[in-house]
């Protein structure tokens, strides 16, 4: 696939014919449907095929679309810039028992190597879901499907779909989900002591805590730094330690374990009612494994591992809401290489035994950021997770690091949809934007990622990876050294303000009631009428039904 667009244009025009693009219809509703199982028959196309509804220009067989000499392909005209294109198709292969099938897009302006991927099998249909956003308009594009490893196999498609959303339509869909999943309709009833309705009572309602965890990494630099602490606590309700719990930080030399720093950081978190993720017990990357551990093998290595997990879990039992048990295990296998394929299984089993109430997470990168990394596709993640589950591991959570450069929002949403079918909590655990971009661009893309995460109903929490050091941050800072917001910090403050219920003031109607929409969390209410005042609290915890709360005067 190294030829220029002119050659592709000629070949695929002859194969497929004129454009498959049909006129845009107004106001599509995003379809979050996804599948992970391989089915005997494909399901119907999402959006009735979207702009693929006009099948007269494609070679449609009874069981899908197939070409003998070329990968299944579509010729597309007049794709627009900054439009969200949502792609889906059912895929079946021949000539191999399984294959990682990748959808790619070639325009006259460049190539998008991966806009969707699926681990397909012979004899059944697998669901590919993805999408793309163009940074420049394209008058002529080729959408095609290939085996990711380059080996030639026969690929069949069924129920292909390509649905476009304008930026405005995408935002409307996000806001609709936020209103139904992150907010709740609430009616407050005011009565007197005999249960009679009180009309004309005034009330002030204030949200004092949020149910949705939104936080950031912190480092030991926050200790004793009151301005940093105040800045952090004003904004966030969750934290994760950047490096301080890792093995090389707590036991840099064998047998000399020191939890002083993480203990102090945890004390700060407790004092400010922050929930904290445990990151991490083990890290599979050799370069992040303590040097003294790298020299161990066999019984000595196993003894060191057992000592580490026993010590750590005993020290912090029931302190952390999560544990990243074996970090980045899709990319690295330091412990498996030395102790066999069941090494990771042992980590999870032991962690669950020692701290059974904490949710255990797989945590990895390039899972939601791209689909080009064959080690970390959504299907590769799910396969590894199921392998652990089938071996009895109590696997509770999906950790997606989310280190982005330029996010592909339709792909992000599609990957989250596929994870959502597992009915496990999904967290974006280390969100940042690459420092290869300027600060204004970082802010723009950060807002896109945060909106995408918050508006997906299966995302249970978001953590930024923005711990502040004198020399800066890992990739992206929210403030300067004097805690004045950078553009990314302004975005965070804007969204935090947008995603909370502001001060609500109201008056009860003739039914003695007042209604409003509130973000999930805890509220204080003060009701007054004719020199009588009552104070109370209530919680909004979600659900389709309106929350009713009665307060007596």
DSSP 144-209: EEEETT----EEEEEEEEEEEE-HHHHHHHHHHHHHHHTEEEEEEEEE-TTS-B-TT-EEEEEEEE
Q: What band does 59 get if pLDDT is binned at 50, 70 and 90?
A: very low
Q: How far apart are CA 332 and CA 337, in angstroms?
A: 9
Residue 65 three-state SS: strand
Q: pLDDT value at position 26?
A: 61
CATH 2.60.120.260 domain span(s) along the chain: 46-61+68-165
Q: pLDDT value at position 153?
A: 87
Rounded to the nearest 5 degrees, what angle is found at the Cα of 51, between the Cα atoms of 49 and 52?
Answer: 50
Using one digit for the tens of pLDDT, what is the confidence trace for 435-472? 999 999 999 999 999 999 999 999 999 999 999 999 99
Mean pLDDT value across residues 418-444: 98
Any bridge partners for residue 147, and if so which? 101
Q: pLDDT value at position 392?
A: 87
Using one digit for the tens of pLDDT, what is the confidence trace for 471-511? 999 999 999 999 999 999 999 999 999 999 999 999 999 99
Using one digit for the tens of pLDDT, what is the confidence trace for 79-100? 999 999 999 999 999 989 999 9
Residue 506 three-state SS: strand
Mean pLDDT value across residues 177-194: 95
CA 428 to chain CA centroid, nearest Å: 4
Q: What percent of the chain has pLDDT over 70?
A: 92
Look at residues 379, 452, 451, 462 and name the one whose alpha carbon lies nearest to residue 427: 462
**Tokens 């036991």 map to which residue?**
251
Write the CB contacts of 15 (distance below 8 Å, at least 6 apart in sequence): 59, 67, 70, 73, 75
CATH 2.60.40.10 domain span(s) along the chain: 172-207+502-552
Catalytic (active-site) positions: 328, 430
In CATH, 46-61+68-165 is 2.60.120.260 = yes
Mean pLDDT value across residues 94-120: 94
Q: pLDDT value at position 311?
A: 97
Mean pLDDT value across residues 341-368: 95
Mean pLDDT for all residues in the chain: 91
Q: pLDDT value at position 396?
A: 86
Look at residues 495, 437, 446 and name the one whose alpha carbon lies nearest to residue 466: 446
Q: How far apart are CA 238 and CA 490, in angstroms?
A: 19
The answer on pLDDT for 136 being more than 50 is: yes
CB atoms within 10 A of CB 243: 18
Q: What band does 3 get if pLDDT is binned at 50, 70 and 90?
A: very low
Using one digit for the tens of pLDDT, what is the confidence trace for 8-53? 333 333 333 333 333 443 689 999 999 999 999 999 999 999 999 8
Q: Are 186 and 549 in contact (CB under 8 A)?
A: yes
Q: How far apart are CA 325 and CA 364, in angstroms?
A: 11
Write the CB contacts of 262 (distance below 8 Å, at least 6 apart in sequence): 241, 244, 245, 249, 250, 316
Q: Is the pTM of this model over 0.85?
A: yes
Q: Are 77 and 21 in contact (CB under 8 A)?
A: yes
Q: What band does 284 get if pLDDT is binned at 50, 70 and 90?
A: very high
Q: Are 504 and 526 in contact (CB under 8 A)?
A: no
Using one digit for the tens of pLDDT, what is the confidence trace for 196-222? 999 999 999 999 999 999 999 999 999
Q: pLDDT value at position 249?
A: 97
Please provide residue 239's backbone torsions phi and psi, each rounded to the nearest 5 degrees.
Answer: -145, 160
Q: pLDDT value at position 109?
A: 87
Q: How far apart are CA 520 and CA 539, in angstroms?
A: 7
For 172-207+502-552, the fitting CATH number among 3.30.70.2610, 3.40.50.300, 2.60.40.10, 1.10.10.10 is: 2.60.40.10
The answer on pLDDT for 7 being more than 60 is: no
CATH 3.20.20.80 domain span(s) along the chain: 216-499
Q: Are 362 and 88 in contact (CB under 8 A)?
A: no
Q: What band does 54 get if pLDDT is binned at 50, 70 and 90?
A: low
DSSP string for residues in 395-428: --EEEE--EESS--HHHHHHHHHHHHTT---EEE
Q: pLDDT value at position 66?
A: 39
CA 501, 503, 506, 511 torsion: positive or negative? positive
Could you tell me which CATH class the domain 216-499 is placed in? Answer: alpha beta
């Amino acid at each position: 696939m190294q030829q220029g667009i002119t050659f592709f244009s000629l070949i695929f025009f002859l194969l497929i014919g004129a454009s498959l693009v049909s006129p845009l219809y107004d106001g599509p509703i995003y379809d979050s449907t996804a599948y992970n199982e391989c089915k005997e028959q494909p399901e119907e196309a999402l959006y009735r095929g979207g702009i693929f509804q006009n099948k007269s220009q494609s070679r449609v067989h009874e069981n899908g679309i197939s070409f003998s000499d070329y990968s299944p392909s579509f010729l597309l005209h007049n794709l627009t810039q900054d439009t969200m294109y949502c792609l889906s198709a059912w895929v079946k292969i021949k000539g191999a028992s399984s294959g990682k099938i990748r959808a790619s897009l070639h325009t006259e302006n460049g190539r998008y190597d991966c806009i969707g991927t699926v681990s397909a099998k012979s004899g059944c249909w697998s669901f590919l879901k993805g999408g793309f956003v163009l940074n420049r308009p394209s008058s002529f594009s080729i959408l095609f499907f290939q085996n990711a490893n380059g080996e030639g196999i026969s690929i069949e498609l069924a129920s292909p779909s390509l649905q476009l959303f304008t930026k405005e339509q995408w935002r409307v869909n996000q806001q609709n989900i936020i209103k139904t999943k992150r907010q709740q309709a609430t009616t407050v009833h005011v009565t007197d002591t005999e249960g009679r309705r009180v009309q004309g009572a005034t009330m002030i309602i204030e949200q004092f805590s949020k149910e949705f965890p939104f936080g950031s990494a912190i480092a030991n630099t926050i200790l004793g730094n009151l301005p940093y602490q105040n800045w952090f606590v004003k904004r966030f309700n969750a934290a994760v330690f950047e490096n301080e719990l890792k093995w090389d930080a707590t036991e840099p030399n064998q047998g000399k374990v020191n939890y002083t720093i993480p203990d102090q950081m945890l004390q700060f978190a407790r004092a400010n009612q922050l929930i904290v993720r445990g990151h991490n017990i083990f890290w599979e990357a050799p370069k992040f494994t303590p040097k003294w551990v790298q020299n161990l093998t066999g019984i000595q290595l196993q003894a060191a591992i057992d000592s580490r997990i026993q010590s750590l879990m005993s020290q912090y039992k029931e302190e952390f809401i999560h544990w990243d048990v074996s970090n980045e295990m899709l990319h690295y296998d330091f412990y498996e290489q030395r102790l066999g394929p069941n090494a990771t299984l042992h980590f999870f089993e032991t962690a669950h035994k020692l701290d059974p109430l904490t949710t255990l997470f797989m945590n990895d990168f390039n899972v939601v950021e791209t689909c080009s990394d064959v080690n970390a596709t959504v299907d590769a993640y799910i396969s590894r997770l199921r392998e652990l589950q089938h071996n009895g591991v109590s696997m509770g959570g999906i950790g997606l690091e989310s280190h982005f450069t330029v996010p592909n929002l339709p792909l992000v949403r599609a990957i989250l949809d596929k994870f959502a079918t597992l009915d496990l909590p999904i967290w974006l655990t280390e969100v940042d934007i690459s420092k290869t971009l300027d600060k204004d661009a970082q802010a723009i893309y950060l807002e896109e990622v945060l909106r995408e995460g918050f508006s997906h109903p299966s995302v249970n929490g978001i953590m930024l990876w923005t711990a502040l050091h004198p020399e800066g941050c890992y990739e992206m800072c929210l403030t300067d050294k004097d805690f004045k917001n950078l553009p990314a910090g302004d975005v965070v403050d804007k969204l935090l303000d947008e995603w909370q219920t502001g001060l609500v003031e109201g008056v009860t109607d003739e039914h003695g009631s007042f209604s409003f929409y509130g973000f999930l969390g805890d509220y204080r209410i003060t009701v007054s009428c004719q020199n009588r005042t009552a104070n109370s609290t209530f919680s909004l915890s979600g659900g389709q039904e309106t929350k009713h709360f009665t307060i007596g005067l």
